[in-house]
Structure 1
Amino acid sequence: MKQYILFLRNNWPLLAFGFTSIFWGNFGQSFFVSWYGASIQESLGLSAAAYGSLYSGGTLGSALTIIAIGGLIDKWPLQRFTAIVACGLMLACVLMMVSAHALTLLIAFYLLRLCGQGLLPHTAQTTMARYFDADRGKALSLSSSGVPVGEVVLPLVAVALIAGIGWRGSWLVFAASVPLLYLPLSLWLLRRSPQIQQPNTPASRAGTEKAQGRREMLGDYRFWLALPAVLTPPFLVTGVFIQQGFILNQKGWDPLWLASCFIVYGIAHWLAALLAGVLIDLFSARKLLPFMLTPLVLALLSLVYLDGNWVAPLFMCLLGTTIGIAGPLTGALWAEVYGTEKLGSIRSLMTAFMVLSTAVSPILFGALIDRGASLQSLFGTSALCAVLASVVVIFSYPRQTLPG
């Protein structure tokens, strides 16, 4: 903890920028948008299938767009890139407020997922990985804390605003918070950050290997060995959350009991991220990568083989630990292996892969459940796939360095 306190004291402006960017990005995360699903469907007269299709369409569109524009963070001044993304998030919130038919809602979802789920976290984590070298793990962990804090705080804010001024009025508040709070705060923090004024810091030359871009990464066989392990956490955790009704039915858990266990998930997420940051700085992300999926395998096995209400908090704790570790570890991995010169381009491609994986898993899990898959077969197979991904990743980056 002393390491974090000293690190925070010396670098608080840039770290605060990363945290606030990810916190505001929560407006585009599924856990937040889900609180509005019933109200939107009722107001617009949408079926559950139509609503889900619009949400998936916006998500897939945002993933493709991130590939095209995410690399601009490597070319534009950080302040300009941040301001444009913030304006996009504000527009998304306004469109959510005024949506009266499916097309407007589709555009709102597209911008919300693009700027919220995608580009704001992309901006924060690219900045952390680029401007911190020896302390990259701690920087990524501290900034990613904006997600668990949002998971605890924002649903309460949303529920209170919906009760007080309605669901449309709440989106007006969120839209106003961007130009009134986030944008001036983030630009002020960047002006106070000495790292931004020193583009030739050691972190800009980070990595023991020559700086590489997307083309070199996609042509590197080791990337394809690591990719299954990198995508497994968002893929499986999203599938689990979306199909939690199936899990409740199979395990006999009360919905309120599982909902209360999300507090355990959030705490585990935050603590695991902080621990991961220290371990990354001590050992490197490449050396830790083969162990990343261990908590996820244990979570899935507990779901398959253990029974009783006590399993729910254990299961959620292990899931939170998985996501807490995966975020900083994969964020640091690309900088270690390919350098930071073209990190924005690389991270935008990986963000697109991640978004696509979260769009596919609910459909796949739903189809398997509809075909009669049992909980044991579905999540037992998922655990086996996670084990295989952990084995394959052993032969990726820790094995050797790029030639030249």
Structure 2
Amino acid sequence: MRQNARWLAAGGVLTFASSFGQTFFIALSGPALRAELDLSHGEWGGVYTLGTVASAALLTSTGFLADRFRIRALAACVFAGLAGACVGMAFVGGAVALGCLIFCLRFLGQGYCSHLAFTAMGRWFSAQRGRAVALAAMGFSLGEALLPITAVALTGLIGWRGVWLAAAALLIALIPPVLWLLGRERTPRQLAETESAPGMMGRHWTRGEALRHWTFWALTPGLLAPPFIGTAVFFHGAHLSTVKGWSLTTVAAAFPFYSVATIAMSFVAAWAVDRFSARRLLPLYQAPLALGVALIGLWDAPAAAFVGFALLGATQGAAVAVIGALWPEVYGTRHIGAIRGVAVAMMVFATALGPGATGALIDLGVGVEAQFAALSLWGAGTCLFYWAVAARIRAAMAPQPSFSSSSGTASNRSATSP
């Protein structure tokens, strides 16, 4: 991995930059936005949901760009656009403008920065794909560990609008380093099809073929659970602290526990992916999520924030390696950008539903504690369902018999088969 440090670092910069479109960063401005724009919990959640849903819809139709253009060029455009959205947040004055800016932040930050990073890692790496994904994903953890505390401290000095201007300046400053890191392609693999690694049945799946096959839709309900639940917890963190009688500092201090657990589990899961394959880990990776959100909902002690966030981070870290490696493992690498674009869009959509649905229920009098306890059943149910799904996928990944030399070898190796 040392000889590939520059490409891994580029992936890390992309995932770090996504922080400015992630819920944990945007939600820090939530109380100020609600106060200045006179929004209720449900209205603020609704604006956030609409902007995020729109970003998911656009991502569905633009994910294929990562298959057609170099990551280097796309990254520069995305960083510049994301910086512009941050400047807009510094001057936002109405709910409509806020919805448009949320759309830009979510599409360019959470959506496209993450999409570019994981598409690149999935295509550039094969034998050690799980570790490459885990290393690149450290940018997420770095942002989650540093930015909440930094933003809270800066808010006291320059105000919440000033924090958004500082974010824009940082993104502009990151463009030259990421261009330098991606100045050379790791291999011709990004543009050449001959070196691509096939997926199920020894072939490369197009987006249309993947969407018409049962596997994609069987994976979908479980894929949506972590983004829905995690976003709901982060988005309503300030409200949760009020309900539980915790200080806001307690919630902010829990983020480093989340980040450390994410990093640690991402490397454990990456080793396991490279050793056993992503499909074998599907039934396991959401177990910490189910336990963590149940603890946050049912336990009133401040320790619940630290333990619960750590467990959420464990699932996030495992998901980075497992899901990041799953798509190229199952569908091959030739059309991976288009396929992953649909999956990422659906997960972005889940992050939209989380704050909106839970915010509306809060306005209706359904406590956030009861909601989180109920959401734990989703994660637990996914673990059970994925046992059956993983078995079907393993059967589809089994080498196919070859009947003649002229027909090709359907039993060609999968790049990540154990």
TM-score for both structures, normalised by structure 2: 0.85
Q: Distance in 2 between matches of 1:374 and 1:173?
A: 35
Structure 1 residue aligned with 2:199: 207
Q: Quick check: 2:266–2:320 contact (8 Å CA) kept in 1?
A: yes
User: Does the 8 Å contact 1:223/1:396 carry over to 2?
Assistant: no
Q: 1:12 to 1:373 in 2, by over 3 A?
A: same
Residue 205 of structure 1 aligns to a residue in which SS? coil
CA contact (8 A) 1:130 1:203 kept: no
Contact 1:195 1:201 in 2 (8 A): no
1:324 shift after superposition: 1.2
The answer as to 2:322 corresponding to 1:326 is: no
Equivalent in 383, 390, 394 of residue 387 of structure 2: 394
Q: Which one of the candidate residues 265, 271, 279 is aligned to 1:272?
A: 265
Residue type of the partner of 1:263?
Answer: P
Aligned to 2:403: none
Q: Offset at 1:254?
A: 4.8
Per-residue deviation, 1:322: 1.0
2:168 equivalent among 172, 175, 178: 175
Q: CA deviation at 1:152?
A: 1.7
In structure 2, distance between residues paired with 1:175 and 1:159: 17
Alignment-mate amino acid for residue 352 of structure 1: A
Question: What does residue 184 of structure 1 align with?
Answer: 176
Unaligned 5+ segments in structure 2 are 401-409, 411-418
Paired AA for residue 262 in structure 2: H
User: CA shift at 1:255, angstroms?
Assistant: 4.4
Aligned to 1:47: 39
Query: Any gaps of 5 or more consecutive residues in structure 1?
Result: 1-6
Distance (Å, rounded) in 2 between the aligned partners of 1:246 and 1:358: 18
Q: Which deviates the most, 128-137 or 225-234?
A: 225-234
Q: Match of 2:396, SS?
A: coil
Q: Tell me the residue number matched to 1:4.
A: none
Aligned partners of 2:48 and 2:352 also within 8 Å: no
With 259-268 and 192-201 compared, the bigger mean Cα shift is at 192-201
Give, in angstroms, the shift of residue 261 of structure 1: 2.3
**In the alignment, which of 345, 351, 354 is matched to residue 344 of structure 2?**
351
Cα pair 2:290 2:378 within 8 Å, conserved: no
Read off the aligned partner of 2:396 and give its amino acid letter.
T
Q: Does the CA contact (< 8 Å) of 2:50 and 2:352 recur in 1?
A: no
**Partner of residue 105, structure 1:** 98
Deviates more, 1:259-268 or 1:159-168: 159-168
Q: Partner amino acid for 2:85?
A: A
Change (3 A) 1:241 1:98: closer
Residue number in structure 2 paired with 1:385:
378
Question: Is the Cα–Cα contact under 8 Å of residues 11 and 193 in structure 1 kept in the other structure?
Answer: no
**2:333 alignment partner, SS class:** coil
Change (3 A) 1:332 1:318: same
Between 1:103-112 and 1:131-140, the stretch displaced more is: 103-112
Output the CA distance in 2 between the equivalents of 1:368 and 1:164.
35
Contact 2:219-2:389 at 8 Å conserved across structures: yes
Deviation, structure 1 residue 71? 1.2
Moved more, 374-383 or 360-369: 374-383
The within-5 A match list for 1:4-403 is: 7=1, 9-43=2-36, 45-48=37-40, 49-179=42-172, 181-195=173-187, 199-200=191-192, 204-207=196-199, 209-244=202-237, 247-248=240-241, 253-303=246-296, 308-369=301-362, 373=366, 378-399=371-392, 400-401=395-396
Deviations 1:76-135 (Å, cap 9, x if unpaired)? 222222222222212212322333434433322221111011101110111001110011
SS in 2 for 1:401: helix
Compute the RMSD of aligned alpha carbons.
2.7
**8 A Cα contact 1:286 1:333, kept in partner:** yes
Rounded Cα–Cα distance in structure 2 between residues aligned with 1:80 and 1:258: 38
Q: 1:326 to 1:160 in 2, by over 3 A?
A: same
| TM-score of the two chains, using structure 1 as the length reference | 0.88
Report how far residue 177 of structure 1 moved.
3.0
Between the aligned partners of 2:239 and 2:159, the Cα distance in structure 1 is: 31
Q: State the AA in 2 paired with 1:194.
A: R
CA offset digits 1:3-36 (Å, max 9, x no partner): xxxx2x1110100100001111111111111222
Compute the displacement of 1:364 (Å): 3.0
- State how far apart, in whole Å, the 2-side matches of 1:304 and 1:253 are: 13
Q: Is the 8 A contact 1:229 1:389 kept in 2?
A: yes
CA distance in 2, matches of 1:308, 1:99: 37
More moved, 189-198 vs 392-401: 189-198
CA distance, structure 2, for counterparts of residue 375 and residue 198 of structure 1: 45
With over 3 angstroms needed to count, the CA separation of the structure-2 counterparts of 1:87 and 1:241, relative to structure 1, is closer
2:54 is aligned with what amino acid? G
**2:77 and 2:55 mapped to 1: Cα distance?**
15
Q: How many angstroms does 1:374 deviate by?
A: 6.3
Shift of 1:197: 7.5
What letter matches 1:187 in structure 2? L
1:232 Cα offset (Å): 1.2
Task: Indicate if the aligned counterparts of 2:48 and 2:355 stay in contact, CA closer than 8 A.
Answer: no
CA spacing shift, 1:164–1:306, aligned 2, 3 Å:
closer
Please give the alpha-carbon distance, in whole angstroms, between the structure 1 residues aligned to 2:367 and 2:98. Answer: 35
SS of 1:134's equivalent in the other structure is coil
Contact map agreement 2:53 2:349 (CA 8 A) in 1: yes
Structure 1 stretches of 4+ with a deviation exceeding 6 A read: none
Q: Bigger CA drift: 53-62 or 109-118?
A: 53-62
Is contact 1:89-1:115 (8 Å) kept? yes
Q: Distance in 2 between matches of 1:370 and 1:205?
A: 50
Q: 3-state DSSP class of the match of 1:340?
A: coil
